[in-house]
Amino acid sequence: MNPIQKVAIVGGTHGNELTGAYLVKKFEQFPHLVQRSSFNTLTLLGNPRAFKVNRRYTEKDLNRCFLSQDLQNPLLLSYEEQRAKDIDALLRPKNQPPVDIIIDLHSTTANMGLTLILSNNHPFNLQWAAYLTALNPQVKVFRWANPAHDAPFLRSLCPLGGAIEVGAIAQGVLQAELFQQTEALIQSLLDYFEAYNQGGIRQPSPTLTLYQGTETVDYPRRGGEIAAMIHPQLQNRDYEPLHPGDPMFLTFEGKTIVYEGTSTVYPVFINEAAYYEKGIALCLTARQEVTLSEIIS
């Protein structure tokens, strides 16, 4: 892999996720914090209009506007659709080298702690994720179900990088501890990129614990309306095992609905507030141990 020349840090892709937005603002005020000697770091506020009104988006979820066909469609002209095209032009300018790595900063109302969301299976992504988990064992690594498929996320504009997702934190709220933890992750990641460029990279752990997304699960519904809530025994238990027969939902009448799968899974994004509109109550993952030497060789 060639040396890294340009890294993009994006915050506020969702306007009411303030941790990333204000980190970007901090880095814009103090750019030396994210600059390194061997590469340049670009900072970007993803959705300024939504940030100004403290909303996730104004017309359409910006982080669902980056499919290749949508970026090339001149008929898609909502604010977020146009903003996605502008971001694409900035990060992948014509007749100029694109950014090498994108780090998109997000927060969640789910109890996800410090989570790295990988864009794909690229060995370099697995390496830097393993490095960060070795530095901080509380960091978890999540990967969507079809990482090779054309995805609508901002991070999909580049094969290297991903998202940093932190929570639980309410929408439109800043929390100092999560702010500091996210900033520390960014600094460690930039240091890793610098070490890679200078040939002084430290060998990460030989294995990486990876939570591979398998499917999303909607709330039980009746006539299109939600008919049950996340069960109290499941609430806030992101990354903890959910066994067949364990409580999953609780109806308004007090009936427990259990998980009917045939194998143990590890739910994430449990009861995420922003996913109600998307018909997602939680995402199921399979826990995997990835041997880095086999992937890299």
Query: Which DSSP symbol is given to 19?
Result: H
Residue 256's beta-bridge partner residues? 250
Tell me the C-alpha distance between 99 and 40, whole Å. 10
The owner of tokens 């990486």 is 208
54 is in an annotated binding site: no
240 is in an annotated binding site: no
Work out the number of other CB atoms within 10 angstroms of the CB of residue 18: 23
Q: Which of 81, 165, 183, 194 is catalytic?
A: 165
Residue 165 bears catalytic tag:
yes
Q: Is 165 exposed, middle or buried (0-12, 13-18, 19+ CB in 10 A)?
A: buried
Which amino acid is located at 145 in the chain?
A: A
HSE-CB at 83 with a 13 A cutoff on CA atoms is 25
Tell me the C-alpha distance between 137 and 197, whole Å. 25
155 is in an annotated binding site: no
Helix (H, G, I), strand (E, B) or coil at 162: strand
Helix pair angle (18-29, 176-197), 10° resolution: 60
CA dihedral 78, 79, 84, 90 (to 10 degrees): 130
14 is in an annotated binding site: yes
Tell me the C-alpha distance between 44 and 131, whole Å. 25
Question: How is residue 111 written in tokens?
Answer: 């109890």
183 is in an annotated binding site: no
Question: How is residue 57 written in tokens?
Answer: 């988006």
202 is in an annotated binding site: no
Nearest-CA neighbor of 118 among 133, 103, 108? Answer: 103
CB 175 within 8 Å of CB 19: yes
Query: Which DSSP symbol is given to 265?
Result: B
Extract the annotated binding site for Zn(2+).
14, 17, 106
Extract the annotated binding site for substrate.
56, 63-64, 165, 275
Extract the annotated binding site.
14, 17, 56, 63-64, 106, 165, 275
Give the catalytic positions in this structure: 165
